[in-house]
Amino acid sequence: MRTIIGNQMEHLSRTDSTNNYASRQLMTKRLPEGIVYSTSVQEKGRGQVNQHWESEPGKNITMSVVLYPDFVPILSQFLISKAVALAVSDFVSAYVSDVHIKWPNDIYVGKKKIAGILIENSLREGTIASSIVGIGLNINQREFLSDAPNPVSLSLLTDKEFLLDECLEELCDRLDDWYMQLKIGEVQKINRAYEERLFRMNEWAPYHAGDEEFEGRITGVDEIGRLVVERRDGTKQQFHLKEVEFII
Ligand code: BTN
Evaluated on CA atoms 106, 128, 182, 25, the torsion sign reads negative
Mean pLDDT of 182-207: 98
pLDDT tens for each residue of 141-163:
999 986 777 999 999 999 999 99
Q: Domain 9-196 adopts which CATH fold?
A: BirA Bifunctional Protein; domain 2 (3.30.930)
Report the pocket of ligand 1 as residue ranges, CB < 6 Å. Answer: 17-19, 45-48, 51, 53, 62-64, 106, 116-118, 134-136
CA of 53 to the centre of ligand 1 (A): 6
Predicted confidence at residue 149, as pLDDT, reads: 79
- What is the percent of the chain with per-residue pLDDT over 90, rounded to a whole number? 95
Among protein residues, the one with the nearest Cα to ligand 1's atom 11 is 134
Residue 136 CA to ligand 1 center (angstroms) comes to: 5
Predicted confidence band at 190 (pLDDT cuts at 50, 70, 90)? very high
Q: Are 63 and 36 in contact (CB under 8 A)?
A: yes
Q: Which atom of ligand 1 is nearest to the CA of 20?
A: 14
Ligand 1 atom closest to the CA of 106, numbered from 1? 2
The third-level CATH classification (topology) of the domain covering 204-246 is: SH3 type barrels. (2.30.30)
Read off the DSSP letter of residue 27. H
Say whether the ipTM exceeds 0.85: yes
Cα of 123 from ligand 1 centre, angstroms: 20
* Domains of the chain, residue spans: 9-196, 204-246
Answer whether 0.90 is exceeded by the pTM. yes
